[in-house]
Amino acid sequence: MLFNSVPYLIFLPLVVILYYFLAPKFRWILLLIASYFFYGYWKIEFLGLIALSTLVDFSASNQIGKSIEQWKRKAWLFLSLGTNLGLLFLFKYLKLFLPSKDLMQLSIKAAEYPVLGEMYYALYLVIPVGISFYTFQTLSYTLDVYWRKIEPEKHLGKFALFVCFFPQLVAGPIERFTNLRPQFDKEHRFNYINFKNGLRLILFGFFMKLCIADNLAQTVDAVYANPEQFSRWGIFSGTMLFGFQIYGDFAGYSLIAQGSAMLLGIELMDNFKTPYLSRSINEFWQRWHISLSTWFRDYLYIPLGGNRVKVPRWAFNIFIVFAISGFWHGAEWTFLIWGGIHGLMYLIEFLIKKTGIKFKGQSLVGGILTFLIVSIAWVFFRVDNLAAFSELVNQFKLDQGTQSLMFSKGLILPAALFILFEILLYNNRFDRWVDNKPALLRWGTYAFLLFCLTALGGAVNHPFIYFQF
Amino acid sequence: MKKANLISIPIKLLLVIALLVGFNWVYTQYFWVDDLKKYDAHVLLDLWSKQDTCDVIYLGESSNFSIHPNDTQRYSISTLIGIESGYRVGSLNKGAYHAGIYIPLIQRIESETVHTVIVTLNLRTLNQATIHAPIETSLQKQARLFKLNPPLLNRVLLTLNAYDDKDVTERDKAMWYEWTYDTLKSQEVEFPAPTIKKWCELPKFVDENGEQDMEKRTLADHYIKAYAFQIDSNENPRMQELDEITRICKEKGYRLIFNFLAENTEYADSLVGEPLVWLMRQNRDILVQYLESRGAEVVDNLEAVPGKHYTDQNWTTEHYDEVGRQIIANRVADVLASGEE
């Protein structure tokens, strides 16, 4: 089920109402059923994958907890890692090795051989939504148990809920067991402030997704579908705008997730903090997709030695973390390059910092450079593959197109509002920012956002970009 | 929860509802028309501009306005119907429109003068290739904007993709599934193969050297894909849409005439053979009987236009030259006149 769909707008209020009517001890059952329904609504067959991942991790973690011998603990850990990474490989990376098929052939095969054809079709075309997110969430749990940071979960149902809690199931934030799981045991009473803040986050999240990302999508898609029709300036602008599209899309999703959870009294971590106002790449990664970057910090960078090693090794660690982070996004070289660029820039920034150079306006220059680097690196994120990238570069060099960028009229008002909010919300969150404003400004803001949402939302059929990861 | 908060919730809810009602007014006044143009749904604007100056609304697709380059007379079918019948005919047409898209348009008619609605209907809109055509997403998106709801609600639903927005691969898969498993059944005719897929796989136009005439074969296969199906009144989604059209027209007091368009049965016969023509006729009979039983009038043009009067000789369309268009228009005008007191 998509957040930006009518079924979700019916589903969420129903779940919230039922949730507060149920006795607290039964609420986890409701949330588990709701979460499975939420996921199965898209493709019921992929529920099996979540169930498998849940069962394996539950059993493995408990065996790790029980075992005294190190080899046994390691064996159970490898079983868990193997299962999760295996599923990820099967559905996300195997297609790299499958003979290529055109879409028509795949459709014919899927129709002709309902079981085998459909499987091939699924492996080739369909990525179980959110597989990268929930596998990483469960991996962190198993590793924490293995490292004896937490005790293994004894309640299968609540563990299953930790794996599939619907607000953050398909695109994060990737939650830690220690943050999310204890909240399922709390006796959440209906809390007006939580409720209000939840709705505020949902409103602002929808605004970012539907008004910013979806309106920009039309412009950006046009550039990337036919770069030959656009001038150099058009291609450059399209690329810059993609940065805002992906931000609106993903940060919007995260806010709706946080807001939905908040309606149930559950706090999810912040995933974005006005990232385009960062003054360095280092800072950008403390503000962009925070749940993933902290995941990589805790479960890859630190185990690799972090910064407690010699500089060359540390540089290698940084590079590896960024490269794998890139590859996490998809089975294309372009994602690796995207990660590599960020890794390289991170290291260059470190070297510059080491020189101790300081000058007036450093923050501003740093901010502009960071924005440019991040935006240009998004090219590798947006193109389908390296061939498409080289075509884009070729067209950029040729500068032959005459078409100018087409902007949706409905974008002007939301875009102005969005830029204003980016500045106002620096180191803040919409719900907290709006909370202490006078009633007129507060309601004026709601009204403005609501009007943009209802009358000026983009009308492209764009699921959330991060669903494909 | 504090009592003050408990009281403020319904007040805030009312405020939101009031805001939405106000927004709907603003949207309808200042944004709707732009959106209708932007999302290619300007057919509603056509309706608004024509409905008060015509007696008959003609709902059509590309058959109405397609012409042959050599035509000396370039009138559309609807114009010719107007000339022949003497009625003022206002046409609303757009390529690939079908019954499902006409429904909201008919619902939107608000006219003192309109007394008759003519709906074009072609056999191909009931086949699996058309039902699962990739263009359907775009058509449904357009129709979303003129459904009979408050315009702001339609706009929100458009943003939320609340229309049939399956992607191309899903549609292809569904189409191939039907072509693979939907079997043809008859006691009267023996089909060369039980399904479209198997029928298309058979060799065709083989010469003495065992070589096939690929051009003819491709066209024959296309005819098979277009016409080798049997309408299931309970399952075919178009039938429910036609039902809905007859219901709405009855409710609004409009005389309803279906202009069942001509298909190139001559070519179907020469390229594929009698079993295909038999299927076309069987489907025609099912449709005519079905619609007449619901009180609609049907002008059966299936075999009315000779093969040479089709503008697309290498494809299956309902595009006619001037003679073809005149034939169709005359037949519709005759039925239209037959209803006069």
Same domain, B14 and B110: no
Q: What is the pLDDT of residue A425?
A: 87
Rounded to whole angstroms, what are the CA distances from A67 to A74, A83, A140, A145?
A: 10, 20, 19, 12
SS3 B68: coil
Measure in Å the smallest separation between the Cα of A221 and chain B Cα atoms: 16
B303: burial class by Cβ within 10 Å (0-12, 13-18, 19+)?
middle
Maximum pairwise Cα distance, chain B: 93
Asked, for residue A261, whether it belongs to a domain, the answer is yes
Same domain, A239 and A344: yes
Q: Given the DSSP bridges, would you call strands B255-260 and B297-300 parallel, antiparallel or unpaired? A: parallel
A11-27 residue pLDDT tens:
999 999 999 999 999 99
Same domain, B231 and B82: yes
Q: Please, which residues have CB within 8 angstroms of residue A432's CB and are 6 or more apart in sequence? A: A197
Amino acid at A428: N
Q: Average pLDDT of chain B? A: 91
Residue A229: DSSP 8-state: G
Residue to mutate among A112, A124, A412, A468, with most B CBs inside 10 A, is A112
List the beta bridge partners of residue B124.
Answer: none
**What is the C-alpha separation between B178 and B134, in angstroms, rounded?**
16
- Catalytic residue chosen out of the listed positions A289, A329, A342, A462: A329
Is A329 known to be catalytic? yes
Residue A405: DSSP 8-state: P
Q: Nearest CB to A108: which of B27, B34, B176?
A: B176
Asked, for residue A346, whether it belongs to a domain, the answer is yes
Inter-chain touch A443–B27, beta carbons under 8 Å: no
Residue to mutate among A4, A107, A467, with most B CBs inside 10 A, is A107
Q: Nearest CB to B162: which of A6, A408, A447?
A: A6
Same domain, A260 and A276: yes
Number of structural domains in chain A: 2
Same domain, B275 and B179: yes
Number of structural domains in chain B: 2
Tell me the mean pLDDT in the region A345-373.
88
Inter-chain touch A454–B27, beta carbons under 8 Å: yes
Q: Is the pLDDT of residue A266 over 80?
A: yes
Domain that holds residue A160: 6-187
Same domain, A67 and A96: yes
Same domain, B105 and B132: yes
Same domain, A127 and A24: yes
Asked, for residue A122, whether it belongs to a domain, the answer is yes
Same domain, A145 and A288: no
Inter-chain touch B5–A192, beta carbons under 8 Å: yes
Closest chain B residue to the Cα of A407, Cα to Cα: B38
B128-171 residue pLDDT tens:
999 999 898 989 999 999 999 999 999 999 999 999 888 888 88
Same domain, A203 and A182: no
B174-218 residue pLDDT tens:
898 899 999 999 888 999 999 999 999 999 888 888 888 888 999
ipTM exceeds 0.90, yes or no: no
Q: Please, which residues have CB within 8 angstroms of residue B110's CB and are 6 or more apart in sequence? A: B51
Structure tokens given for A276: 């385009």
Measure in Å the smallest separation between the Cα of A392 and chain B Cα atoms: 25
Asked, for residue A424, whether it belongs to a domain, the answer is no
Asked, for residue A123, whether it belongs to a domain, the answer is yes
Asked, for residue A411, whether it belongs to a domain, the answer is no
- Residue, of A408 and A231, whose pLDDT is higher: A231
Domain that holds residue B332: 31-338
B218-262 residue pLDDT tens:
999 999 999 999 999 898 999 999 999 999 999 999 999 999 999
pTM for the full model?
0.87
Closest chain B residue to the Cα of A108, Cα to Cα: B176
Q: What is the pLDDT of residue A171?
A: 84
Residue with tokens 């709902």: B59
Asked, for residue A455, whether it belongs to a domain, the answer is no
SS3 B271: helix
Q: The domain spanning residue B200 has which CATH number?
A: 3.40.50.1110
Residue B35: DSSP 8-state: H
Same domain, B22 and B77: no
Structure tokens given for B56: 């008959």
The candidate with the shortest Cα–Cα distance to B160, out of A50, A206, A37, is A206
Q: Are A456 and A243 in contact (CB under 8 A)?
A: no
Same domain, B144 and B172: yes
Same domain, A219 and A362: yes
Same domain, B155 and B167: yes
Which residues of B are less than 8 Å from A125 in CB distance? 169
Same domain, B49 and B71: yes
Q: Nearest CB to B169: which of A103, A455, A456?
A: A103
Rounded to whole angstroms, what are the CA distances from A379 to A388, A401, B250?
A: 10, 19, 57
Same domain, B132 and B89: yes
Closest chain B residue to the Cα of A406, Cα to Cα: B38
Same domain, B74 and B149: yes
Q: Are A119 and A96 in contact (CB under 8 A)?
A: no
Last residue of a domain, one of A160, A187, A214: A187
Q: Are A211 and A252 in contact (CB under 8 A)?
A: no
What DSSP element (H or E) covers B120?
Answer: strand B116-121
Rounded to whole angstroms, what are the CA distances from A185 to A180, A181, A182, A268?
A: 10, 8, 6, 15
Same domain, B50 and B181: yes
Q: Is the pLDDT of residue A112 over 70?
A: no
Q: Is the pLDDT of residue A435 over 50?
A: yes
Last residue of a domain, one of A187, A213, A237: A187
Asked, for residue A74, whether it belongs to a domain, the answer is yes
Same domain, B183 and B116: yes
Same domain, A314 and A219: yes
Residue B260 has φ and ψ, to the nearest 5°, of: -80, 110
pLDDT bucket at A120, cuts 50 / 70 / 90? low
Inter-chain touch A112–B2, beta carbons under 8 Å: no
Q: What is the pLDDT of residue B209?
A: 87
Q: Nearest CB to A103: which of B27, B161, B172?
A: B172
Closest chain B residue to the Cα of A110, Cα to Cα: B173
Closest chain B residue to the Cα of A463, Cα to Cα: B161
Which residues of A are less than 8 Å from B165 in CB distance? 461
Q: Is the pLDDT of residue B341 over 60?
A: no
Residue A148: DSSP 8-state: T
